[in-house]
Amino acid sequence: RPARCICVRRTPSCRVVKPLADIRLFDTGSDALAALHAACFPDAWTAAAIDALLATPGTFAYAHDDGFVLARAAGGEAEILTLAVTPSARGKGLGRRLLQAATGKAREMGAQTMFLEVGADNPAALALYAGLGFAKVGTRKGYYSGRDALVLRLSLAGDFA
């Protein structure tokens, strides 16, 4: 069986096969993460902002050439700070794999629960999170430049999808 890849075979829009197994714990080069974030969001975070977050205790990131997840864990809880997957790699399992890696690390760090905020107007992300077992626990009015965000929660006590 072939490895799960962002592109199973080369296509005009994807000239290189990028296995999902290439997800790694991030250690250096926040410029690359900032570039990925800019490819995904209109209000992208700078490398300096990402560095500042990574410098805080309990914060970690997992990265792939086409995306990354930035999270932190403390006091028995974890939070996804951002999940960025480039538009060309969406819908192919990368976001799920990044979240699984972050959830595993958060568990290792003693977290029992994970939280995140997601745009209420982002059906693809909402479907991803629901498929992993996240449930709505609140709403933040106007959180994203006037757009509402939903607060989602996942128990890390059981098996993660």
Catalytic sites, residue numbers: 117, 129
Whether the Cβ atoms of residue 49 and residue 83 lie closer than 8 Å to each other: no
Angle at 68 between CA 21 and CA 25, to 5 degrees: 60
If 0-12 CB within 10 Å is exposed, 13-18 middle and 19+ buried, where does residue 16 land?
Answer: exposed
> Do the Cβ atoms of 49 and 40 come closer than 8 Å?
no
Nearest by Cα to 36 from 116, 95, 102? 95
